[in-house]
Chain A
């Protein structure tokens, strides 16, 4: 069965790199996410914001990719934030404790400002 391929775009806003995710976040998204991280951090951003508004299906492999990205961020001292998650995936981020390590906001402005959520717990 054809999956909905991941399309990733990186843009900058107020010193923050925003990664727009569209399509499935699963095993097949690994290369696209790696490339997006590299592009987002070529020039050190204040934070990296993951925009899930266009994302569809996220599975455990996708969670693992986000964990990997979070680990890279922690190693480089770059904050990760996220917005645009559906209530279901927000619940999954909470169950997996991802929400403890990346700030989840309701919209892009808040994410860019770093106004909501918490860091490291």
Chain B
């Protein structure tokens, strides 16, 4: 005699989604030989199950006629009697009996005895099953917790142990994993020539698989960054490395940027990651660059863009754990709120603290963190253009675009003024430069770009050779203008010249140097004024 000592309930439910093996040993009849017979597989839709469930006692297998594969197997295995084990109306097992050793049929007393035995064994068997289920669940929980610990260890081991100290810059980072560790990571990579690479990424999925992919991504990225300078090319290479081995349905979003601390130039590429925000004196804006997440498809290009972080500017790289945090009404923190925070708050570590405070207020007290949260900030000191000895080093201070629209020269004047404010240029010289910038930008927008919004004017401000140089470039591509008519006020008042035509005349009189150049596609006017000296000298 043999009893089914496994729960039918769990096994039968599981068999819907699993292979045959799971239910392989559900029914183990003992033949007349007394040895173990092969297990009998009872499919969940087998009519034998329903029959046994509703049977009032031991079932005579040989006499039973059902279109049931399991019944046929039982018959083949020599089972004579099947005694259902029912606890609280639920079939939890079957006692399968082979022929009696005496080769006589089972008597009615035998059947009664077996029925009584089944009635008493079933609850005990059920208790045993429940204990085993609980043990299995506890083991699963423990394994899950252990996995979380492993994932945390992997992630923390691959995060930077310390952040670089860059003169004129404040670098701060924050990383906090969710309980069910996600795939966030960040990295700061020292590069040749004093450049520094910054990475923020997020692997889809959670736990150990995400942590392993994160570790692989970080390693490949670090290695590639040492060999290739361009951020777009680095991401292309990382993508090629990851694609062949990336587990199904997993990918990595990643923002990689390279900072030149001396100039503030920040070149970046983005593999589908949340857009970073840059805080300037006029607000905050996203840094956009196109690119697919890593590990999805090989051969993907990654657009490379660049910006210049002017003295006082700051940059926030972040993961979706910030913007996707929900309040109790399930409203997300959202990109607009984060963008506004970047505009309103100081940069650096304080920005991180203030965003975290806002986030805490948004999610409410005691809310469990839904996803990993990562933030990295870069802030350029407001007086970063000054060297210790007071001399001004050659540096790119800012570069920006101005949409070609009437009145926008004011925007250019404002941005240039902000960029050169730390240089303490004498006031009158500064005013002259502002007028020259306004006039040159107006000319570029009107004549080069014909006031078309799709033809912006680029303004680049740098210090070089004791001068502040402002280059204003339009897409007109016109050759350098020959000397235009010199405005003569008397001729204008007499109607011999039109009243207008003062722009270039003013520019020439406002700056120390004026250069014009063209490459056929771009037309550039460069204005330069001396950094040192008093106000009285002629411009």
A contact set with B: CB distance below 8 Å: 1-3, 24, 26-28, 57, 59-61, 63-65, 67-68, 70-71, 74, 86-88, 91-92, 95-98, 100-101
Contacts and interface: CB of A to CB of B under 8 A. Distances in A.
A92 B506 contact: yes
Interface in B460-511: 487, 489-490, 492-493, 495, 498-503, 505-506, 509
B432 interface: yes
22 contacts: A1-B407, A1-B408, A1-B410, A1-B411, A57-B413, A57-B438, A59-B435, A59-B439, A59-B442, A60-B442, A60-B502, A60-B506, A61-B500, A64-B499, A64-B501, A67-B492, A71-B493, A88-B431, A91-B428, A92-B435, A92-B506, A96-B489
Interface string B409-443: 11101000000000000001001100100110010
Contacts of A65: 499
Contacts of A61: 442, 500
B509 A97 contact: no
Nearest to A70: B493
B519 interface: no
B489 A3 contact: no
A67 B509 contact: no
Nearest to A60: B502
A63 B413 CA distance: 18
Looking at chain B, what size class is its interface with the partner chain? 20 to 34
Contacts of B498: 64
B506 A64 contact: no
B310 to A, nearest CB: 18
A98 B490 CA distance: 10
A117 B313 CA distance: 47
Contacts of B428: 87-88, 91
Given A59-B409, A60-B506, A97-B490, 6 more contacts: A1-B410, A2-B407, A24-B410, A57-B413, A91-B428, A95-B506
B286 interface: no
B442 A28 contact: no
Contacts of B493: 67, 70-71, 74, 101
Interface string B235-252: 000000000000000000
A71 B492 contact: yes
A1 B509 CA distance: 27
A68 to B, nearest CB: 5
B406 interface: yes
Contact of B439 (A60, A67, A86, A96): A60
Interface of B: 405-411, 413, 428, 431-432, 435, 438-439, 442, 487, 489-490, 492-493, 495, 498-503, 505-506, 509
Contacts of B410: 1, 3, 24, 57
A64 B498 CA distance: 9
Closest 5 A/B residue pairs (Cβ):
A88-B431, A60-B502, A3-B407, A64-B499, A64-B500
Contact of B502 (A1, A3, A63, A70): A63
B406 A67 contact: no
A91 B489 CA distance: 15
Nearest to B411: A1
B502 A64 contact: yes
A60 B501 CA distance: 8
A70 B408 CA distance: 28
A3 to B, nearest CB: 4
A24 B432 CA distance: 17
A93 to B, nearest CB: 10
B263 to A, nearest CB: 27
B489 to A, nearest CB: 4
B482 to A, nearest CB: 19
B292 to A, nearest CB: 35
B439 A100 contact: no
Contacts of A67: 489, 492-493, 499
A70 B494 CA distance: 11
Contacts of A74: 493
A67 B408 CA distance: 24
A55 to B, nearest CB: 14
A60 B406 contact: no
A95 B432 CA distance: 12
Most buried by A among B411, B489, B492: B489
A2 B414 CA distance: 13
A100 B489 contact: yes
Contacts of A96: 487, 489, 502, 505-506
B503 A60 contact: yes
A107 B91 CA distance: 107
A1 B282 CA distance: 12
Most buried by B among A59, A65, A74: A59
Contacts of B509: 95
A63 B499 CA distance: 8
